[in-house]
């Protein structure tokens, strides 16, 4: 008899104890932000974290009666680490949303976890087209490489560039860029005379650029991850490709705002296409750049930062509008539904989360590197409105 | 065509300066130092930091990079490396690869992981072109500068090792430490200075190479393979072996990437395998030895 009572009491206590964290949790809304904070891609992580914190500082940390808690984890760009961290965040911390993801393999490795746990996953950086197809719970606020490459292939033939050699880093996004640029350029009556792929661990661009020079195209189209851009540009000039009448056109990764100033005058005049420039002339962006600099010792936000900032906006807004019963935290599916179809004014311009593909639809700008107030900026001179990811229209 | 040859020679010369220190420690001192690239990286970062933060001119940075890396080499030789000389090779390899990872992590922590840029003086930026199209020779001034510096260093090294008293002491110490010590040669000092000079040369190579090869915290890992190929193919018994091996490697790499870009990265390795099957001791090895 006594024993039975004890067991019952213990059981009751146990249930109560188990219920406690659940109760406490009802009032917090956790966002698991997985980023490369160390290693080669550390600048991506730094930019996105700073932007996410800025968004929270500007918009308060309480939304729809819930306290927002940001849990930042460093995956050092190793996909298996990303996956493990995501699992821990979902199982132990019970996060409501996963976000971040610096490189494509990290996002792809985590996709099954989002699907199984029905947790929305907001991609703030990785840019290979196929990522959003890996799980129905993935939403992207950054950009896709086909999106920006195609814009450049539309612009080039109208400006006397018909014969192009492409040079890309040999991995997912690079191959995306090469393929979509080439297809669109041919469609527009141009031609890609040579498609060069540079190994990721390539010590010296010299032989590739010499080859470009000898094949005498109108322009060289480049995609390399942001760190390697400066080396390409320098050797482009050193080899005298500019004097041989070859233009350098690139995706905006090459003239990354984060590093543009260090690249020196060699970068002047480079034409690139991208969705964001720190010099974008809008009131929203001016405010964003100023606040970002003030909060981070004068750091300039780049396209990664804007992806993080808008990602936070999408999450906040989803939490505010998601359908839910009473005061309960909305389910993953409800949040996902509320993320789809959001339209808003971002620092980069108007953007739209396509409800079908869950990918971002946005303006792609053509920019030229110019000196402004003693600093180098990507100054926008043309825009292609509302570009949908061409990787999805097949 | 000639331009490709020229670029290959410049690249090879750079590899030689980076790897020659390794050839010396491995061949003469019989120590496998995988951390060699870390000294090269140190030289590169010394240059970048001096130029960016203090505005020191490029030409002044080069000797400072040499001295800095040499000093670091001397310090580490005295404290960490010396007890390792008599250990088996596996211990040496594990020890030095550990050093590499520590170097990578600490540079990452203190200076960040992004690529560093060097702004060369204007007179090194130009390019001279001779001849007309099929036989045109285009020479970047900076690459010309690299070739000149490296050639001068090679001659000096060869002279020191074969013609001077220090050279003969070094060779004596390597051949038999006990007898050399008995003859009144301070073996420890000889090894210390050799190691320091080897590290210093790597540092200089890192400083010269930052513009061409790029510079980030993973530098020692990225180029470790190249150093080892140079040493393996060239043999370690002389200076000329690694020199010719480095030139061969540089030219093959550049030409391979130019003519067959799809195979670019493989050419070097296939070449190495072919050579090592043909001559397992390395291309330019003298008979006998130890």
A44-91 pLDDT per residue, tens: 899 999 999 999 999 998 888 889 999 999 998 889 999 999 999 999
Contacts of B286 (CB under 8 A, 6+ apart): B237, B238
With CB atoms and an 8 Å threshold, state whether B264 touches A239.
no
User: Of the candidates A207, A239, A258, which has its C-beta nearest B254's C-beta?
Assistant: A207
- What is the mean pLDDT of the segment spanning A147-165? 89
CB contact B2 to A (< 8 Å)? no
Chain A closest CA to B172's CA: distance in Å? 38
Please report which residue ranges of chain B form alpha helices under DSSP H.
Answer: 2-23, 36-54, 58-76, 89-111, 141-163, 165-175, 177-182, 187-213, 219-234, 240-259, 264-278
Contacts of B216 (CB under 8 A, 6+ apart): A40, A227, B113, B114, B115, B116
Find, in chain B, the residue whose alpha carbon is nearest to that of A40: B113
Chain A CB contacts of B253 below 8 Å: 204, 207
Average pLDDT, rounded, for chain B: 85
pLDDT of residue B267: 81
Does residue B287 carry a pLDDT above 70? no
With CB atoms and an 8 Å threshold, state whether A238 touches B142.
yes
Report the percent of chain B where pLDDT is more than 70.
94
User: How far is CA B82 from its chain centroid?
Assistant: 21
What is the CB neighbour count within 10 angstroms for residue B110?
A: 9
Q: Which helix (H) or strand (E) holds A271?
A: strand A271-274
B73-111 pLDDT per residue, tens: 999 989 988 888 888 889 999 999 999 999 988 988 888
pLDDT of residue A203: 61
Q: Which domains does chain B have, with CATH numbers?
A: 2-278 (1.10.3470)
Chain B closest CA to A195's CA: distance in Å? 10
Chain B closest CA to A165's CA: distance in Å? 13
Find, in chain A, the residue whose alpha carbon is nearest to that of B139: A239
Find, in chain B, the residue whose alpha carbon is nearest to that of A214: B133
Residues A209/A236, Cβ–Cβ less than 8 Å: yes
- What is the mean pLDDT of the segment spanning A338-350? 92
ipTM topping 0.85: no
Does residue A21 carry a pLDDT above 50? no
pLDDT of residue A26: 65
pLDDT of residue B234: 82
Identify the band that residue B194 occupies on the pLDDT scale cut at 50, 70 and 90.
confident
Does residue A262 carry a pLDDT above 90? no
Chain B CB contacts of A43 below 8 Å: 112-114
pLDDT of residue A389: 87
pLDDT of residue A264: 78
Q: Chain A 208-237, CB below 8 Å of chain B: which residues? A: 208, 210-211, 227-228, 230-231, 234, 237
Per the structure block, which two tokens stand in for A237? 């000039």
Dist. CA B188–CA B59, nearest whole Å: 33
Does residue B180 carry a pLDDT above 70? yes
Chain A CB contacts of B138 below 8 Å: 239-240
Dist. CA B114–CA B136, nearest whole Å: 36
pLDDT of residue A311: 94
pLDDT of residue A170: 83
Contacts of A383 (CB under 8 A, 6+ apart): A349, A363, A364, A365, A366
The residue whose two tokens read 């996909």 is: A79
User: Of the candidates B117, B211, B257, which has its C-beta nearest A208's C-beta?
Assistant: B257
Dist. CA B236–CA B242, nearest whole Å: 7
Pick the range with the lowest mean pLDDT from A20-34, A243-257, B139-153, B208-222: A20-34
Chain A closest CA to B126's CA: distance in Å? 7
Contacts of A132 (CB under 8 A, 6+ apart): A123, A138, A139, A140, A357, A358, A359, A392
First to last CA, chain A: 71
With CB atoms and an 8 Å threshold, state whether A227 touches B140.
no
Using CA of residue B217, residue B218, residue B219, residue B224, what is the dihedral sign?
Answer: positive
| Strand B137-140 relative to strand A138-140, pairing | unpaired
Chain B closest CA to A301's CA: distance in Å? 16
Dist. CA B37–CA B219, nearest whole Å: 7
Dist. CA B127–CA B114, nearest whole Å: 28
Pick the range with the lowest mean pLDDT from A114-118, A315-319, B161-165: B161-165
Angle, CA of A35, A255 and B38, to the nearest 5° = 65
CB contact B216 to A (< 8 Å)? yes
Does residue A199 carry a pLDDT above 50? yes
Chain B CB contacts of A258 below 8 Å: 114
With CB atoms and an 8 Å threshold, state whether B4 touches A210.
yes
Per the structure block, which two tokens stand in for B45? 């970062």
The residue whose two tokens read 């959001």 is: A342
pLDDT of residue A290: 93
The DSSP string of B142-175 is HHHHHHHHHHHHHHHHHHHHHHSHHHHHHHHHHH
Chain A closest CA to B141's CA: distance in Å? 9
Chain B CB contacts of A231 below 8 Å: 115, 214
Q: Which helix (H) or strand (E) holds A351?
A: strand A349-353
CB contact A42 to B (< 8 Å)? yes
3-state secondary structure of A371: strand
Identify the band that residue B239 occupies on the pLDDT scale cut at 50, 70 and 90.
confident
pLDDT of residue A253: 87
Does residue A12 carry a pLDDT above 80? no
Chain B CB contacts of A234 below 8 Å: 117, 211
Chain A closest CA to B40's CA: distance in Å? 15
Helix %, strand %, coil % of chain A (to 5): 45, 25, 30
- What is the mean pLDDT of the segment spanning A141-168? 90
pLDDT of residue B289: 43
User: Of the candidates B7, B109, B222, which has its C-beta nearest A207's C-beta?
Assistant: B7
Q: Is the whole-model pTM more than 0.80? A: no
Identify the band that residue B264 occupies on the pLDDT scale cut at 50, 70 and 90.
low
Dist. CA A346–CA A214, nearest whole Å: 43
Average pLDDT, rounded, for chain A: 87
pLDDT of residue A24: 46
With CB atoms and an 8 Å threshold, state whether B138 touches A230.
no
CB contact B262 to A (< 8 Å)? yes
pLDDT of residue A201: 66
Report the percent of chain A where pLDDT is more than 70.
92
What is the CB neighbour count within 10 angstroms for residue A179?
A: 18
Burial of A318 (0-12, 13-18, 19+ CB in 10 A): buried
Identify the band that residue A1 occupies on the pLDDT scale cut at 50, 70 and 90.
very low
Does residue B284 carry a pLDDT above 80? no
Angle, CA of A299, A203 and B116, to the nearest 5° = 25
pLDDT of residue B288: 42
Residues A311/A346, Cβ–Cβ less than 8 Å: no
B111-129 pLDDT per residue, tens: 877 777 777 887 877 777 7
Dist. CA A357–CA A136, nearest whole Å: 9
CB contact B138 to A (< 8 Å)? yes
Residues B194/B74, Cβ–Cβ less than 8 Å: no
With CB atoms and an 8 Å threshold, state whether B254 touches A208.
no
User: Of the candidates B113, B119, B257, which has its C-beta nearest A42's C-beta?
Assistant: B113
Q: Which residues of A84-118 are buried (b: 16+ CB within 10 A; e: fewer)?
A: bbbeebbeeebbbbbbbbbbbbbbbbbbebbeebe
Nearest to B36 by CA among B225, B163, B287, B211: B225
- What is the mean pLDDT of the segment spanning A201-222? 84
Residues B77/B192, Cβ–Cβ less than 8 Å: yes
Chain A CB contacts of B114 below 8 Å: 42-43, 227, 258-259
Contacts of B283 (CB under 8 A, 6+ apart): B233, B234, B235, B241, B244, B245, B248, B275
pLDDT of residue A108: 93
CA atoms within 13 A on the CB side of A351: 28
Identify the band that residue A225 occupies on the pLDDT scale cut at 50, 70 and 90.
confident
Choose the mutation target among B261, B262, B263, B269 for the interface with A, i.e. most A CBs under 10 Å. B261
Choose the mutation target among B104, B117, B141 for the interface with A, i.e. most A CBs under 10 Å. B117
3-state secondary structure of A247: strand
B22-81 pLDDT per residue, tens: 887 787 677 888 999 999 999 999 999 998 888 888 889 999 999 999 999 999 989 988
The DSSP string of A24-63 is HHTTEEEEEEEE--SSTTHHHHHHHHHHHHHHHHHH-SEE
Chain B closest CA to A219's CA: distance in Å? 18
User: Of the candidates A199, A202, A238, which has its C-beta nearest B140's C-beta?
Assistant: A238
Dihedral of the alpha carbons of A10, A16, A20, A21, in degrees to the nearest 10: 60
């Amino acid at each position: 008899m006594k024993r039975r009572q004890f067991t019952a009491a213990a059981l009751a206590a146990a249930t109560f104890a188990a219920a406690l964290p659940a109760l406490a949790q009802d009032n917090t809304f956790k966002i698991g932000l997985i980023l490369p904070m160390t290693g080669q891609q550390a600048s991506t992580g730094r930019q996105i974290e700073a932007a996410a914190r800025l968004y929270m500082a500007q918009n308060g940390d309480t939304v729809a009666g819930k306290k927002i808690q940001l849990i930042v984890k460093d995956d050092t760009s190793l996909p298996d680490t990303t996956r493990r961290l995501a699992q821990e965040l979902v199982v132990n911390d019970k996060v409501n949303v996963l976000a971040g993801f610096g490189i494509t393999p990290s996002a792809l490795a985590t996709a099954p976890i989002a699907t199984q746990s029905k947790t929305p996953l907001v991609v703030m950086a990785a840019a290979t087209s196929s990522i959003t197809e890996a799980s129905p719970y993935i939403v992207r606020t950054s950009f896709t490489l086909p999106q920006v490459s195609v814009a450049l292939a539309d612009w080039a033939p109208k400006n006397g560039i018909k014969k192009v050699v492409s040079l890309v880093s040999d991995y997912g996004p690079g191959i995306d860029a090469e393929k979509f640029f080439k297809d669109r350029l041919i469609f527009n009556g141009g031609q890609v005379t040579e498609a060069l792929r540079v190994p990721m661990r390539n010590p010296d661009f010299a032989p590739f650029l010499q080859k470009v020079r000898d094949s005498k195209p109108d322009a060289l189209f480049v995609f390399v991850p942001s760190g390697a851009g400066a080396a390409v540009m320098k050797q482009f000039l050193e080899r005298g490709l500019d004097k041989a009448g070859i233009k350098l056109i690139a995706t905006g990764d090459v003239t990354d705002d984060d590093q543009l100033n260090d690249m020196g005058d060699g970068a002047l005049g480079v034409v690139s296409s991208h969705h964001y420039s720190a010099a974008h002339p809008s009131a929203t962006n001016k405010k964003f750049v100023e606040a970002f600099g003030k909060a981070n010792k004068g750091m300039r936000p780049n396209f990664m930062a804007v992806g993080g900032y808008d990602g936070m906006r999408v999450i906040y807004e989803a939490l505010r509008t998601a359908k839910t019963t009473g005061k309960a935290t909305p389910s993953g599916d409800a949040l996902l539904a509320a993320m789809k179809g959001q339209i808003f004014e971002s620092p980069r311009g108007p953007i739209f989360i396509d409800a079908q593909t869950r990918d971002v639809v946005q303006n792609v700008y053509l920019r030229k590197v110019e000196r402004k107030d003693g600093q180098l900026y990507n100054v926008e001179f043309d825009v292609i409105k509302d570009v949908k990811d061409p990787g999805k229209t097949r | 065509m000639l331009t490709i040859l020229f670029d290959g020679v410049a690249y090879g010369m750079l590899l030689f300066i980076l790897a020659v220190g390794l050839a010396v420690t491995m061949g003469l001192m019989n120590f496998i130092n995988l951390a060699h690239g870390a000294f090269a990286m140190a030289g590169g970062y010394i240059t970048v930091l001096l130029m960016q933060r203090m505005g020191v001119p490029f030409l002044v940075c080069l000797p400072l990079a040499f001295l800095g890396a040499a000093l670091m080499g001397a310090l580490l030789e005295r404290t960490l490396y010396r007890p390792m000389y008599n250990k088996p090779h596996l211990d040496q390899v594990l020890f030095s690869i550990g050093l590499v990872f520590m170097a990578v992590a600490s540079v990452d922590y203190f200076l960040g992981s992004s690529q560093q840029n060097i702004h060369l003086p204007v007179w090194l930026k130009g390019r001279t072109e001779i001849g007309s199209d099929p036989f045109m020779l285009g020479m970047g001034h900076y690459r010309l500068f690299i070739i000149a510096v490296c050639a001068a260093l090679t001659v000096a090294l060869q002279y020191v090792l074969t013609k001077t008293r220090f050279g003969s002491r070094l060779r004596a110490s390597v051949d038999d430490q006990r007898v050399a010590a008995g003859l009144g040669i301070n073996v420890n000092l000889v090894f210390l200075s050799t190691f320091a000079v080897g590290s210093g040369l790597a540092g200089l190579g890192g400083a010269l190479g930052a513009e061409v090869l790029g510079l980030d915290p993973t530098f020692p890992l990225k180029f470790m393979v190249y150093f080892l190929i140079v040493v393996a193919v060239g043999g370690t018994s002389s200076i000329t072996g690694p020199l010719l091996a480095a030139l061969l490697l540089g030219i093959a790499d550049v030409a391979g990437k130019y003519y067959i870009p799809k195979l670019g990265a493989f050419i070097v390795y296939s070449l190495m395998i072919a050579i090592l099957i043909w001559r397992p001791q390395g291309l330019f090895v003298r008979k006998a030895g130890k």
